[in-house]
Amino acid sequence: MFKRILIANRGEIAMRILRCCQEMGIETVLACSAEDMDSLPAQFATKRVCIGPPAAAKSYLNPEAVVQAAISFQCEAVHPGYGFLSENADFASLCEEHGILFIGPSSEMIRMMGDKQSARALMKKHGVPVVPGSDGILKDWKEAAEIARKVGYPVLLKATAGGGGRGMRTAYDESEIQSAYESAQAEALSAFGDGSLYLEKLILHPHHIEVQILGDSRGHIVHLGERDCSLQRRNQKLLEEAPARILKPRQREALHRAALRAAKAVHYRSAGTVEFVLDREGNFYFIEMNTRIQVEHPVTEMITGVDLIREQIRIAAGLELSCRQSDISFSGHAIECRINAENPAKGFAPCPGDISFLHFPAGKGVRVESALYNGSRVSPWYDSMIAKVIVHAPGRLEAIRKMRVALEEMTVEGIDTNLEFLYLLMFNPDYLSGHVDTGFLEKDAEAIIRWGEESRKKA
């Protein structure tokens, strides 16, 4: 096993990895920006090293600075967490060149899956259902129009280098296709330096369902069930749960089989996620594969008991998966809420600042992942997620009740958060019935906020 690992991330995921390393007896070096030198993970790690100024582009996103830090501190491996350099194939190969193990799949695999159109083509070749659409990169908007006519409107233009919901535009009819193409291309060029686009039919009112997989270097591949991540705003997830209530047993089995087929097709190693959209008729289609740990991994851990970060580290060290498919069983229901420093009434605008008082919920089946403490500061430089509250109970309704209590107990003073919004969501009839698709928040967020305001007035 490794003696020392460098953690190239911040916030709650840095804490999550640090705790796991400590449990495994591994020393840690936290590579952080000047802004985070006094953060909780910086105090928790065995050692900390400053890799640059607050701007992520010059610190957390600087591959040379991270690799240099790993060399200087004699770290054998680097854990990239999620976001930042976690899906950067050049960073993974830079690690490989310097003999540092990247905790994740090979740079080749990251490159292959990072090109969404190639991943789509590969999946199609291996019999994994993909959304009807183009067979390759589009030449121009005229070709997009031609294919859209064949598959039928509405369609989605997607950047092959896309991520974080960027470089995607919808076209509902032929009059919109040219402008959708041009604006998706412009956004993709400025965000990813690559304006290549492909086209998919827009699945109406889909559920976003993803399957967690693990593969080791000895060829063992397992799935750890699915998560429903349909509650999204601006294509970004806000709440995730496992298992997906909407799936019938046969569909669930087929979905797991498709995810395994996808992972086996590429001889996947490490933790990964195969993402699908599920349409109203119950058909599911591959959309992409994420080659890293996901924000929402705890819901899977809660229902399977498998520690995904520990498995990632073991796999990177060349060890076998600690479980076979037959060892994995599923128990109960888990829900994760992402607590963000943001104001739902102002279009979920981020609200960083100083926290004057903080109290986290606790109790049986309640888990909190965060790097905040009383008096700490939510930096304006980074993502607005400040904590994840995860609950686990025997059934979905019991989990919802537990989440209500947990959210009610949690207190954050000094900054705006989405706590109340999430609490109200736990009483929303559509959410309770499990019938929320990826467009739900776009449509119903305002009504939920109004409902909260009215209830406050009455009280």
C-alpha span between 87 and 395 (Å, rounded): 34
Q: Which residues within the stretch 386-425 sit at the binding site for ligand ADP (CB under 6 A)?
A: none
32: its two tokens: 């952080």
Cβ closer to ligand ADP: 65 or 229?
A: 229
Q: Which is catalytic among the residues 10, 233, 269, 292? A: 292
Cβ closer to ligand ADP: 162 or 225?
A: 162
3-state secondary structure (DSSP) of residue 100: coil
Task: Give me the least distance between CB of 209 and ligand ADP, in Å please.
Answer: 10
Task: Give me the least distance between CB of 240 and ligand ADP, in Å please.
Answer: 11
Instruction: Please tell me whether residue 54 binds ligand ADP under the rule CB under 6 A.
Output: no
Kindly state the number of chain residues that form the binding site for ligand ADP, as judged by CB under 6 A. Answer: 18
Binding mask 198-227 for ligand ADP (x = CB under 6 A): --x-xx--x-x-------------------
Residues 6+ apart with CB under 8 A from 158: 116, 167, 168, 184, 197, 198, 199, 200
Assign residue 305 a region (left: φ > 0; alpha: ψ between -120 and 50; beta: otherwise): left
β-bridge partners, 208: 277
Instruction: Please tell me whether residue 338 binds ligand ADP under the rule CB under 6 A.
Output: no
State which of residues 72, 183, 190, 235 lies at the interface with ligand ADP (CB under 6 A): 235
β-bridge partners, 419: none
- Helix extents (H) in 25-115: 40-44, 63-72, 89-97, 107-114
Query: Strands 221-233 and 236-242, how do they pair?
Result: antiparallel
Q: Which residues within the stretch 279-308 sit at the binding site for ligand ADP (CB under 6 A)?
A: 287-288
Q: Indicate the helix (H) or strand (E) that contains 422.
A: helix 419-425
In angstroms, how far is the first alpha carbon of the chain from the final one? 57
Question: Among all chains, which residue has been given the structure tokens 């109200």?
Answer: 424
Cβ closer to ligand ADP: 163 or 305?
A: 163
Binding mask 420-449 for ligand ADP (x = CB under 6 A): ------------------x-----------
Cβ closer to ligand ADP: 272 or 361?
A: 272
Asked whether the beta carbons of 87 and 292 are under 8 A apart, the reply is yes
Instruction: Please tell me whether residue 275 binds ligand ADP under the rule CB under 6 A.
Output: yes
The sign of the CA dihedral 229, 230, 235, 239 is negative
Q: Round the CA-based radius of gyration of the chain to a whole number and report it.
A: 22
β-bridge partners, 421: none
Q: Which residues within the stretch 114-173 sit at the binding site for ligand ADP (CB under 6 A)?
A: 131, 156, 162-165
Task: Give me the least distance between CB of 164 and ligand ADP, in Å please.
Answer: 5
Task: Give me the least distance between CB of 279 and ligand ADP, in Å please.
Answer: 8
Our answer to whether residue 234 is catalytic in this structure is no
List contacts with ligand ADP (CB under 6 A): 131, 156, 162-165, 200, 202-203, 206, 208, 232, 235, 275, 277, 287-288, 438
| Catalytic center residues | 292
